[in-house]
Chains A and B, each alone.
Chain A
Amino acid sequence: MALVIRAVRGRRHPRPSITRAVLAIGVAALLAGTVAACGNGSSGNASSSGGTKDGFTQAPQSSGTLTVWVDSTRVPAAQAYKKAHPDVKLNIVTYDGDANGSNTLQTKVDLYDRTGSGWPDVVFSAENNEISWAVNAGFTAPLNEGLIPSSTLNNFATGSLAPCTVNGKVYCLRNDLAADVLWYNATLMEQWGYQVPTTWPQYEQLGLEVAKQHPGYLVGNAGDTFTPEIYMWASQCQANQITGLRAVTVNVTSPSCTRMASLLDTLIKVGSMSKLSVFSTAFDKKEKGKVLMLPGPAWFGGAVFDSSSGLNTPKGQITVAPMPQWPGSATPSTGDVGGGLWLLSAHSTHLAEAVNFITWVTGNNAYQADLAPGLPAYVPAAAAWLANQAKSGYYVGNITSTLQQAAGQVWSGWGYGQFSQEAIWASAIDPGLTAGKTITSMLPAWQSSITQHAQADGYRVSQ
């Protein structure tokens, strides 16, 4: 018997759900002689002495170390806060930022809920759909019910708090605006006598010309998990229309999707659209100096072009134009990739410090204007950030108005569900793309994958 038990327990990482959660309570249960007694896994963290304030039940407050979770890109934000507040004890924890639908945050919070302790006070997340589970889980605190004054919240750009808002309550702060624009190399465009395309057909035409006249150069990239959030979202593709708390409409074989899929297929076929991820080492190696245009979010400037770990494009070449549009569409539309959220834990026992931290990192110029790679969502910081960008002279001309305009043109028909559109695209489309299939041929598979994942999360899916 010992052998058999060992046999099934021999794994390094077995049944994580049960093993870890049970360590503390499980042993106690064994001593008590009953396992069933510990069956209730829900947390009992709400403290009687805390009470309801600011719109939620607060834990008893105390002073102590403030624990903040950030991704590696946001570490400078936490460090800048520490520098500005030497008296605050800060525990900075780096994690993957929940990017690409990794689901780390939800996993950990679920474990902390079971053990009744361990939650971080403040969390940065690169995923814009956190609120879809974090509110139900009771993890995030509402911020506009007394914690943060409306005068501060009103300083966030119009619509930028949409991914944070449920039934009028704001549950997070937006880090930066991530609307998609058309990044391009002004030097090369001028040298080769190309016009910046304003419509998608023009863009496609230019992609075909580039493939012929300057083979090897790129007009875009379709190999990232957020590719649908650049092209499909901008094309108003109905892949992610959240229509209710647990309802979504998915119809990716409609013309608004197929037109963009076929455009991408055409350009991938001729070679002016890359199938690599902009964050892959292969892309940096192969495409350095070969990017003529690159539709993508506002943060591409700092994260892809002006980045020593990215393309490292020299100063004075890169600039932005508005995203191309489909002829005949009533209002210009674009997509949005991430942008990052700051969440404040409702379990925090240092709410005052946590609020101070979260408002500082989103609004203070010492981080947002001077260090942040992307356009701040906090308007006063954004103005200072843009002034800094203009001063640095990295970009050709003034990129301010284009970025600000794009932020207001994000199509609202693409929502923030609990299922990760990035993860779905990655597994449903990317392998086929690598194997040489067209996106158009994979749209039905995309449709069924979104449907299945949404249903698994309890969504009612209509077409």
Chain B
Amino acid sequence: MNLAPVTGSASTRPRRAPRPIRAVRGLKAGHAFVAGYVVLLAAFGIVPSAYGIYFAFTNSANYFAGLSNFTAAARDFRYLPAVGHVAGYLVIWLVALVVFVTALALVLHQLPARRIGRLVRFLYYIPGALAGAASVMVWLFMLDPTVSPASSFLRLLGYGTFGQVIEPGHLAVLFAMIAFWTGAGGWIVVMYGALNNIPLDVIDAARIDGAGRWQIARRIQIPMLRKWIVYMVILAFATGTQLFVEPQLISEASLGVAGRDYSLNQLSYDFAFQNNNVNYAAAISVELLVVSLVVAAVFVTRSRFFDAD
């Protein structure tokens, strides 16, 4: 959710300072700022990815294996169900994220009192402050009718036991809810910031032309948020395809009743540590990488993401 590297690199590139001395100094500072990121990117991003790609195309004896790891992993009985699960989850989650984050940011932006606005922004953000697994732990309690603060609501829906709440058909929705609760707050705050960046005179002009709140939102604000929404979808898609913590914890909490081998990343984990096959595991990881790259590329080119306004 940290936007610094993106905005940083985007703003340093196009700027051409008129005087060369300042440009050199600016370049140095820029490099210094980016250097730390580049080191981490190499250590935790590029090298592991390269290592993963190496594993994906070799066998356990370290010989080149072509695409055999990919085909063998895809033939595993858990593979297609996992693809289906992740796809279903992504649809629910991405739609919910785009619709609700945009709507809530707009509502937040319309709040008349500054204090309430600040408080609400803070409340939205709190869940995101909990580290990944911890926030899922909270949900384990929420979803168990015997201990949940929302037990009466769960019972109203007809769920008397944890087992009924987490039946297989519910999982995609549950994971989307958990992911939304943990991740959406940060995005709402980002969208709110983006809304603040829309020049007031544009809004005023629209208002003078007779646009109501709804029309301003639909015709001015949402179109001007487009790039932010695209950015959110790209990141959320990549995060979503790597679904892991939610099903893994639900699986452990339910003693394996629900969520085991649910997502592709879990399958990759199982291949690596249960079936002792790092190569199949890497093949799945590489697939996720490729899918995310392709989707990101499509979104970036279609939305003309890097075009200057």
Contacts and interface: CB of A to CB of B under 8 A. Distances in A.
Contacts of A102: 252, 256
Contact of B256 (A10, A12, A422): A422
A281 B48 contact: no
Interface stretch (A37-45, A207-215, A237-245): A37-45
B158 to A, nearest CB: 12
Interface string A404-427: 000000000000000010110011
B285 A15 contact: yes
A30 interface: yes
Interface residues of B, number: 73
Give the dominant DSSP class at A's interface. helix
B92 interface: no
Interface string A250-279: 000000000000000000000000011100
Contact of A18 (B42, B52, B162): B52
Given A6-B5, A17-B268, A103-B273, A456 B76 contact: yes
Contact of A431 (B245, B258, B274, B288): B258
Given A96-B252, A225-B256, A8 B238 contact: yes
B12 to A, nearest CB: 12
Contact of A110 (B167, B256, B276): B276
A341 B7 CA distance: 55
A330 interface: no
Nearest to B46: A5
Contact of A435 (B77, B167, B269, B289): B167
A55 to B, nearest CB: 24
A232 B282 CA distance: 38
Contacts of A187: none
Given A280-B146, A282-B162, A423-B256, A7 B51 contact: no
B47 A29 contact: yes
Nearest to B55: A18
A277 B257 CA distance: 11
B48 A22 contact: yes
B255 A281 contact: no
Given A2-B5, A101-B256, A431-B257, A26 B281 contact: no
Contact of A427 (B256, B265, B271, B285): B256
Contacts of B255: 100, 224-225, 277, 422, 426
B292 interface: yes
Contacts of B163: 223, 275-276, 430-431, 434
B62 A39 contact: yes
Nearest to A281: B146
Contact of A434 (B145, B164, B300): B164
B77 A452 contact: yes
B189 interface: no
Nearest to B76: A456
Interface in B1-22: 5-6, 9
B308 to A, nearest CB: 16
B38 to A, nearest CB: 9
Interface in B232-259: 234-235, 237-239, 242, 244-245, 252, 254-258
B48 A18 contact: yes
A282 B237 CA distance: 37
B6 A11 contact: no
Given A9-B44, A281-B147, A427-B257, A17 B77 contact: no
A278 to B, nearest CB: 11
B275 A456 contact: yes
A285 interface: yes
B161 A434 contact: yes
Interface in B24-55: 37, 41-48, 50-52, 54-55
A276 B47 CA distance: 47
B170 to A, nearest CB: 10
B164 A26 contact: no
Contacts of A457: 274-275
Contacts of B261: 427
Contact of B238 (A7, A16, A23): A7
Given A6-B5, A17-B268, A430-B163, A110 B51 contact: no
Contact of A11 (B55, B162, B244): B244
A107 interface: yes
Interface string B272-284: 1111101001100
A7 B292 contact: yes
B256 A281 contact: no
B259 to A, nearest CB: 9
B27 to A, nearest CB: 17
Contacts of B9: 2
A133 to B, nearest CB: 8
Interface string A11-37: 111111111001100110110000110
B223 interface: no
A389 B134 CA distance: 41
A15 B265 contact: yes
Contacts of B198: none
A137 B147 CA distance: 41
A412 B46 CA distance: 51
A106 B296 contact: no
A440 B265 CA distance: 33
Nearest to A277: B255
Contacts of B289: 8
B144 A3 contact: no
24 contacts: A3-B5, A3-B300, A7-B234, A8-B289, A12-B131, A13-B133, A16-B244, A18-B285, A22-B51, A30-B42, A106-B274, A225-B255, A275-B163, A276-B161, A280-B161, A282-B160, A282-B161, A422-B255, A422-B256, A426-B257, A427-B258, A427-B260, A431-B168, A431-B258
Q: Which 7 A-B pairs have the closest CB atoms?
A: A17-B272, A426-B256, A12-B132, A107-B273, A11-B242, A434-B163, A26-B47
